[in-house]
Amino acid sequence: MSTTRLDAVTGGPALTDDEATALRHEAISYAAQHGLLVATESSESGATMPSTFTHAPIALLPTPFPADVFALATRVAPLFASVSDAVSRDDAFLRETLAGVIRADDFTRRVWDIYERCGGQEGRHPMELGVLRTDYMLDAPSGLPLQVEVNTVSTSFMALSTRVSQMHRRAIEWLGAERAYAEGAGSDAGSASAEDVASALARRLPTNSALELAAETLHAGWRAMNDDDARVLMVVQPCERNVFDQRMIEAALWERHGVKTIRATLREIASDAVVAEDDAKTLTYRGARVSVVYYRAGYAPTDYPSEAEWDARLLLERSGAVKSPSAAMHLAGTKKVQQTLASPGGLERFVECEEDVRAMRSVFAGLYALDGEDAVAAVELGLNAPESYVLKPQREGGGNNLYGEALRAQLAKFTPDAPIGSDGDLSSFILMQRILPPVNRTLCLRNGEMQELETLSELGIYGGYLRVGEDVAMNVVGGHLLRTKAASSDEGGVAAGYAVLDSPCLTFT
Ligand code: ADP
Ligand code: MG
């Protein structure tokens, strides 16, 4: 006999235990059939494929998300792509904004050194290729999508998020809950025709084309390079487990666009890649010409365990291949740049249209500098209400931010005029208003185990960007990611083990 669960998943039907279990089986089956997988073993080499897998961490049903909030995040995403590129081309702005960070933080300084050693703006490749994602959380008090961060390097889950969206559509069918979900689109689904139900469902579950966009963007860069025999070089981490998310992009590039991809780690590139000393600075890897470098590694200090990896990064940067991203674009995606853009006059330096500035400003949370003359006031803000802020270093990949007591302890070390890099100096951090999303109930599946959790969600909007010289050849939005984590957890990375992949089920008021 099945018993009805007391709490329905937010926005979903009440499920009996048997129905939830059946859903688990279907979801795992779907994951295996469609590559919604992560490897459970890994290998040092980029080309080696692990042979044991499990399903990716997923939510079994989609999570409600307000349609107007989704629309605003989608509207501003390409504006942030343009601004990131404009920032990356503004040497004076980058230099001034990152001055404190570069002195206090070794990792950012090394990326900056690569930018400078390749000749700064003069030495830059004429093209910039962006596979981007801006992240937002719905701030319950204001009802706005507040921007968590802008990702310009190694944005992940374009393939797996696409599959999760498709899986959720199927999950609703397995439950026979089409009409129940269609009602949320405002139609009277009880008496609606099957066609009306289908179109209401389509409104609620927006099509996710992130995988296609990833391949289209890389293809656009490849085509602009105009070398039919060249390949895309995907720079990957040794011991990567999120291989399906990467391999599906590789497959789409080949099957839809006829472009071949090589996978290699920075270490392998250090030993086996060559840049020709000709005008074109042609890049070859193990004898194959490469025209596009796509980084799925290189964003964290742990990606550079020795000088060899830094040598590889420098070699790629100075090569004639287009990089996704360049060192300058990588730097434009730092949290320090986001904070500076949010300060008075920050956006106006790069955006002429006042309406665009207003829209972009409306998604900024409170962001505060911890270098310069404003640091004293920011430290006081944080010390007075540690629970209301997040302290962020210039890091990517999850697990680096400080909250609550740890935030308080770090801020308490602050000493005005402390020497850069000393304990009392906080130049490498920014302080951010804590966003407070609504709490939902979610059925999460991780390693085959189902758990019903109180959760918070973060929306990512993907973008593809290509600039060739002064001409912006592509700046499009396509696809999204919802990551859902336990409400009790501060951080939100899926790969880092904090969150599950999810999709939004839009709500209309
Ligand atoms: P990373 O580059 O490591 O992904 P993020 O800025 O995205 O850094 O922060 C990691 C996670 O911390 C986010 O996914 C989110 O869950 C949480 N987080 C970050 N900023 C805030 C904020 N202002 N309010 C609430 N949670 C936040
Ligand atoms: Mg993030």
In the reported structure, the alpha carbon of residue 136 is separated from the centroid of ligand 2 by a whole-number distance in angstroms of 9
Is residue 301 over pLDDT 60?
Answer: yes
Annotated active-site residue 485? The verdict is no
At residue 496, the pLDDT reads 65
pLDDT band at residue 6 under the 50/70/90 scheme:
very low
- Is pTM beyond 0.95 here? yes
The response to whether residue 458 sits with its C-beta less than 6 Å from ligand 1 reads yes
Atom of ligand 1 nearest to the CA of 399: 3
Q: What is the DSSP string of 157-193?
A: -HHHHHHHHHHHHHHHHHTT-HHHHHHTTTS-GGG--
Mean pLDDT of the chain: 95
Residues 12 and 185: their CA atoms lie apart, in Å, by 13
pLDDT digits (tens, 9 = 90+) for 423-481: 999 999 999 999 999 999 999 999 999 999 999 999 999 999 999 999 999 999 999 99
The response to whether residue 216 sits with its C-beta less than 6 Å from ligand 1 reads no
Ligand that comes closest to the CA of residue 498: 1
Residue 330 Cα to chain centre, angstroms:
13
3-state SS track over 213-238:
HHHHHHHHHHHHHCCCCCEEEEECCC
Residues 420 and 127: their CA atoms lie apart, in Å, by 35
Mean pLDDT computed over 257-269: 98
Is residue 140 over pLDDT 60?
Answer: yes
At residue 1, the pLDDT reads 44
Annotated active-site residue 396? The verdict is yes
Is residue 420 over pLDDT 90?
Answer: no
At residue 490, the pLDDT reads 82
Q: Choosing from 397, 398, 404, 493, which is the catalytic residue?
A: 397
Is residue 189 over pLDDT 80?
Answer: no
Q: Half-sphere exposure of 39 toward its Cβ, with a 13 Å CA cutoff?
A: 17
**Token representation of residue 162:** 């696409």
**Which one, of 189, 213, 183, 162, lies nearest residue 506 by Cα?**
183
In the reported structure, the alpha carbon of residue 223 is separated from the centroid of ligand 2 by a whole-number distance in angstroms of 30
Residues 202 and 163: their CA atoms lie apart, in Å, by 16
At residue 135, the pLDDT reads 98
In the reported structure, the alpha carbon of residue 195 is separated from the centroid of ligand 2 by a whole-number distance in angstroms of 38
At residue 94, the pLDDT reads 98
The response to whether residue 66 sits with its C-beta less than 6 Å from ligand 1 reads no
pLDDT band at residue 218 under the 50/70/90 scheme:
very high
The response to whether residue 397 sits with its C-beta less than 6 Å from ligand 1 reads yes
In the reported structure, the alpha carbon of residue 258 is separated from the centroid of ligand 2 by a whole-number distance in angstroms of 32
Q: Choosing from 82, 84, 88, 156, which is the catalytic residue?
A: 156
Residue with the smallest CA separation from ligand 1 atom 17 is: 491
pLDDT digits (tens, 9 = 90+) for 70-115: 999 999 999 999 999 999 999 999 999 999 999 999 999 999 999 9
Residue with the smallest CA separation from ligand 1 atom 3 is: 398
The response to whether residue 333 sits with its C-beta less than 6 Å from ligand 1 reads no
Q: Choosing from 392, 395, 408, 434, which is the catalytic residue?
A: 392
